[in-house]
Structure formats: C-alpha cells, structure tokens
C-alpha cells in the first residue's frame, strides 16, 4: 500500500487580534460610570477577566473602581430585582 501522506506540519490558522475593550485613552476610575457598568452583570456582580477580555492589570483597576463606586453609593452592592417580581 502506497498512500501519500503529508508530513506532520502544524495547521496554519489565521488569528485575528481582538481589539482591547479598554483603549489607552480611557481612564479606569470610579467616576467613569459608562466604562464601569460594562463590567458588571445583571445581578450586580463583577464579571471575570475571561469574560471581560482585559489584562490582569486592567481587571484589578476595574475591581478597585467598582468597589469605590459601591462605597460612595454610585453603584448598588446587589441588584435583587428578580427576587421581588412574582
């Protein structure tokens, strides 16, 4: 049997670089509510870094900003609206 097989080569897949969700000009701050609200779930939880697709440093800054906004009552700690709707 003489089957022609290709030699073992890595498949060449083209990867499209994703644009970072936070641009270099955006300031991660507790006052920037339009930016912070993108990283909070419906229930008011902070979304994980894999979901956000941000770097570790950016995730730390986002977490600190969200916590500061919660302490200053700019954001709720919980959003339990679904529990009361029956």
Residue 32 pLDDT > 70: yes
**Nearest alpha carbon to residue 32 among 82, 74, 60:** 74
Q: Which residues pair with 46 in a beta bridge?
A: 40
pLDDT digits (tens, 9 = 90+) for 54-65: 989 999 999 999
pTM of this structure: 0.69
Tell me, what's the pLDDT at 21?
78
**Nearest alpha carbon to residue 37 among 69, 61, 60:** 69
């Amino acid at each position: 049997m003489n089957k022609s097989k290709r030699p073992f080569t890595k498949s060449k897949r083209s990867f499209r670089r994703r644009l970072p969700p936070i641009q270099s000009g955006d300031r991660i701050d507790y006052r920037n509510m339009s930016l912070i609200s993108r990283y909070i779930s419906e229930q008011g939880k902070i979304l994980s870094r894999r979901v956000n697709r941000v770097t570790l440093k950016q995730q730390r800054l986002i977490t600190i900003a969200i916590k500061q906004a919660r302490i200053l009552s700019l954001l709720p700690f919980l959003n339990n609206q679904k529990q009361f709707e029956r």
